[in-house]
Structures are given as structure tokens and as C-alpha cells.
Amino acid sequence: MERAKEKIRRAKNSADFVILLPHLGGQYNPSPGEYHKWTMQWMLQAEVDAIIANHAHTPLRCERFRNGCIGAYALGNFCFTPHIGWFIPNSLAEYGVVLDLYISTREKKTTRATFNIVKTIVEPDGFASVHLVSELIANEKDAVARERLLIENEAVVNRFRGMTGSVSPQVNYTFSL
């Protein structure tokens, strides 16, 4: 922890905006565990501007902390080909969040945040490709498959926002600051 504090201090001395990218969180956990939360709080005390953690292999919540820091507990997987035995079914491991932070160079802070939901699809040729979920939903002809995409999209958006409620598919979701 002392080495990390020193590296953060040096980064803050040479940059206007510091983002930490820790490898953090229990795999496939649907919410941050106690150690995950404790570590995020420890990093917040270092007064960084954003913490984008990842290791859970499933999207977790994102929040804006009291000091203005954006903290994402996990963005999920950008490109992941789940095979039986390698992941927990229904963990949303094939989903990821693309987070866009808009940073004011004058104010040296995040002024806006948006995000997109993506899903990895294994194509017939065996290769994986990443698709915007909003496009998958719009193009899905099968009613059952479309409904599943809608339900899973809503689950990912709600989990990332730390909320519950009805969600319409969108290209860009706004994250309230």
C-alpha cells in the first residue's frame, strides 16, 4: 500500500487528472465484496480523480463519490467468449460497459459521463465480435431472443447505475454526476 501511495503521489504531481486502473474484485460476483469496497475507499483517500477497477468479469456499479471521484467497481468484459466451466452461467459475463468520461481541462474534473453496453457474440466461424446491445436489440427478429436481450440490458444498466427500474435500450446512457 505504501508503494501504491508513492506512485499515486508522483502521478498527481505530474498530471492534471489521475485515473487508477486496479485489477480488483471477485470474479463473477454480482456486487462488490467487502475487500473490494475497502480498497476503493482506500484509493479515494489518495484523492485521485477516477478509479476504473476491473477483474470481476461482470459489470458492477459505478458511482460518484463525495470528493467528486468517479469509481467503477468493474466494467465487465469487452471481449469474452464464455465456455462452460470457465464462468458462472447467468453472470452477465458476456457483457461489458464502455465508459466515456468527459474531462474539463480548465476545471480538471469530470463534467459528464456516458456509457454504452456491449455484448460479445461468438460468430459461426468461432471468432468473437463485440456488438452494441442497442443494435442487437434493434436488429433481433426473434421475439424470445429480443426479450432476453432487453432483460439482460436492463440488468446491466441498472447494476452499473446502482439502481433498479425500467430501462429503454439506448446507444448512450447518461451517468448522473
**Please, are residues 62 and 51 in contact by the beta-carbon 8 Å criterion?**
no
Which residues lie across from 102 on neighbouring strands? 112
On the question of pLDDT at 145 being above 90, the answer is yes
Residues 6 or more apart in contact with residue 135 via CB below 8 angstroms: none
Q: What is the pLDDT of residue 1?
A: 81
Arithmetic mean of pLDDT, 22-44: 90
Q: What is the pLDDT of residue 87?
A: 66
Q: What is the pLDDT of residue 82?
A: 64
Share the mean pLDDT of the chain.
90
Give the pLDDT band (50/70/90) at residue 85.
low
**Residue with the larger pLDDT of the pair 79 and 162:** 162
Count of structural domains, the chain: 1
Q: What is the pLDDT of residue 7?
A: 92
**Please, are residues 156 and 95 in contact by the beta-carbon 8 Å criterion?**
yes
On the question of pLDDT at 83 being above 70, the answer is no
Domain with 167, as residue range(s), is: 2-174
